[in-house]
């Protein structure tokens, strides 16, 4: 991100120095289009997904938290003072 | 691995549930080693699924969601199958044991189904490009889950235990219609969701991790159902005991 | 009638109703009335009736038909019924960026409308995944350079 900002500042500086405006377009398009796409526009239609680990971690975390959560809810609903078992 | 092994494993879980219900001495301890095994296998599943298994050729690492999404939905289908089995058993021979077991299986099934569908949605975003679309598989799964949520609501709204048991058993049988529809939806209609895979369409290491995930969740399926069953039984006993202030009577077991 | 036999009667009734409902869905004509998407041939068979309505079109992306706009943000491609070269096809113009898995030969479902200029305009483009899960390079390539081997075989991205 920092390098991107630095690069665009430098780029803007250069652009202002000799070629105003015209060159700024390619810099803007991916930024604007990125939110539409899960992994950014640069890999759109590549045929293969690159990255996406956040989805994988989200799914595994959901599964693990779900097991813990359901177990916790069972624990708090456990029968009280049942002689046949304790937990 | 021959195709009957998954069903054998499910039969084993059902046998363990029956043992829990029928044999009081099993109740105190059997769930503990199974819960421990499940916890260990779940930790190992993180390693096997995220590190050990290869990426998929087109989905690359996103394909690893396979090992948690599919077993969750399988568990939901198994739990609902247990639910309908108990419902029919109740109508054939009145027993609050099968009624309590039906209730716990339905709740655990809704849990696994809801988590599985959410995981599917997370998976759909990077692969299909959308979080959700009203494709036949997704519609039928939603209807199935809503049917069982309705089943649980019906149970909680009905006061009289016998009326509740009888009419929720009818609701259970009717809800179960949704299950074959979910299963065959990808074959009967055009859908975005792919048809069922089989070991011949999945590479061997992936099949192994998928089975690991399924056995992991089978452990939790067992523990959740028997623990939820005990809650249901104690509620029944409490409901039976309340009007006459007597010593607790053993219910039909 | 005892409560027991009444319950059994209820069970038989419920199972019959459930079975009837299921066979009505499975073997009745509900399958033809519930359509998630049209294949190109089905949409073309509608003739003028297909124009204008918001529908879903599904099929496979015809290899060699994918054309990107210069900024790589919109594209046109053909969707065919099947992988057969002679299969009926429809030209699709997408204003949205496709998912990463989009490639030639992949299954897609697009939502939009067909117009009399024979172009299907879409703003919702979904790709599907087959029921095959393969490790990269399992069809011969080196596992370590699976991304490289695939991009050699695939020329969809003409940047």
Residue C145, in any domain of the structure: no
User: Which domain CATH number covers B55?
Assistant: 1.20.120
Under-50 pLDDT residues of chain C: 140-159
C83 and C13 within one domain? no
Chain A from 10 to 29: CB within 8 A of any C CB: 29
Summarised one tens digit per residue, pLDDT across range B182-238 is 998 888 888 888 888 888 888 888 999 999 999 999 999 999 999 999 999 988 888
Q: How many CB atoms lie within 10 A of CB C128?
A: 19
**What residue spans define the domains of chain A?**
1-49, 52-87
What is the mean pLDDT of the segment spanning B37-43? 95
Residue C154, in any domain of the structure: no
Contact status, residue C74 vs residue C119, Cβ threshold 8 Å: no
Summarised one tens digit per residue, pLDDT across range C69-102 is 877 778 899 999 888 888 888 999 998 888 888 9
What residues make up the domain containing C10?
Answer: 3-32
Q: Which residues of B162-177 are buried (b: 16+ CB within 10 A; e: fewer)?
A: eebbbbbbbbbbbbbb
Partner residues linked to C51 by β-bridges: C114
Task: Give the mutation candidate from A40, A58, A67 for the B interface (greatest B CB count, under 10 A).
Answer: A67
Confidence of residue B73 (pLDDT cuts 50, 70, 90): very high
Contact status, residue C100 vs residue A38, Cβ threshold 8 Å: yes
Rounded to whole angstroms, the Cα distance separating C55 from B191 reads: 14
Complex-level ipTM: 0.87
**Closest approach of chain C CAs to the CA of A51, in angstroms?**
10
Residue B194, in any domain of the structure: yes
Q: Where on the phi/psi map is residue A45: left (φ > 0), alpha (ψ -120 to 50), or beta?
A: left
On chain A, the residues whose CB falls within 8 A of the CB of C156 are 45-47
**Could you tell me if B54 lies within 8 Å of chain C, comparing CB atoms?**
yes
Q: How far is CA C45 from CA C12, C87, C88, C114, in A?
A: 45, 14, 10, 13
The structural domain count of chain C equals: 2
pLDDT over 90 percentage in chain C? 17
Residue B174, in any domain of the structure: yes
pLDDT top residue among B11 and A82: B11
What is the mean pLDDT of the segment spanning A75-82? 80
**Could you tell me if A81 lies within 8 Å of chain C, comparing CB atoms?**
no
**Closest approach of chain A CAs to the CA of C95, in angstroms?**
11
C87 and C13 within one domain? no
pLDDT top residue among A49 and B46: B46
On chain C, the residues whose CB falls within 8 A of the CB of B134 are 36
């Amino acid at each position: 991100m920092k390098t991107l900002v630095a690069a665009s500042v430098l780029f803007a500086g250069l652009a202002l120095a000799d070629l105003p405006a015209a060159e700024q377009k390619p810099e803007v398009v991916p930024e604007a289009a990125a939110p539409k796409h899960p992994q950014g526009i640069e890999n759109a239609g590549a045929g293969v997904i690159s990255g996406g680990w956040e989805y994988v971690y989200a799914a595994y975390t959901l599964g693990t938290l779900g097991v813990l959560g359901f177990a916790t809810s069972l624990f708090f609903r456990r029968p009280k003072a049942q002689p046949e078992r304790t937990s | 691995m021959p195709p009957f092994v998954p069903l054998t494993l499910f039969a084993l879980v059902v046998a363990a549930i029956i043992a829990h219900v029928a044999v009081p001495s099993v109740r105190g301890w059997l769930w503990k080693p199974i819960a421990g095994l499940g916890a260990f296998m779940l930790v190992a599943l993180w390693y096997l699924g995220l590190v050990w298994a290869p990426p998929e050729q087109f989905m690359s690492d996103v394909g690893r969601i396979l090992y948690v999404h599919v077993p969750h939905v399988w568990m939901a289908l198994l739990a609902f199958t247990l639910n309908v089995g108990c419902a029919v058993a109740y109508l054939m021979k009145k027993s609050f044991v099968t009624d309590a077991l039906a209730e716990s299986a339905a709740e655990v099934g809704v849990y696994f189904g809801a988590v599985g569908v959410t995981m599917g949605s997370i998976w759909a975003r990077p692969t299909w490009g959308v979080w959700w679309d009203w494709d036949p598989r997704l519609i039928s799964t939603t209807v199935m889950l809503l049917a069982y949520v309705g089943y649980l609501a019906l149970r909680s709204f009905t006061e009289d235990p016998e009326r509740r048991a009888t009419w929720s058993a009818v609701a259970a049988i009717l809800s179960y219609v949704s299950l074959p529809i979910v299963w065959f939806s990808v074959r009967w209609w055009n859908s975005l969701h792919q048809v069922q895979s089989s070991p011949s369409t999945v590479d061997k290491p992936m099949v192994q991790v998928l089975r690991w995930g399924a056995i992991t969740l089978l452990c939790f399926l067992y523990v959740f159902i028997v623990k939820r069953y005990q809650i249901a039984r104690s509620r029944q006993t409490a409901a039976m005991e309340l009007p006459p202030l007597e010593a607790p009577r053993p219910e039909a077991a | 009638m005892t409560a027991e036999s009444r319950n059994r009667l209820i069970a038989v009734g419920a199972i019959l109703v459930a079975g009837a409902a299921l066979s009505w869905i499975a073997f009745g004509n509900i399958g033809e009335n519930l359509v998630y998407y049209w294949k190109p041939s089905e949409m073309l068979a509608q003739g003028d009736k297909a124009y204008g309505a918001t529908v879903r079109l599904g099929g496979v992306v015809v290899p060699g038909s994918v054309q990107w706009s210069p900024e790589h943000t919109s594209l046109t491609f053909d969707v065919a019924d099947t992988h057969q070269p002679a299969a009926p096809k429809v030209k699709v113009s997408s204003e949205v960026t496709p998912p990463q898995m989009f490639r030639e030969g992949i299954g897609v479902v697009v939502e939009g409308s067909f117009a009399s200029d024979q172009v299907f305009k879409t703003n919702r483009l979904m790709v599907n995944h087959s029921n095959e899960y393969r490790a990269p390079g399992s069809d011969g390539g080196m596992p370590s350079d699976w991304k490289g081997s695939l991009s050699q075989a695939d020329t969809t991205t003409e940047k």
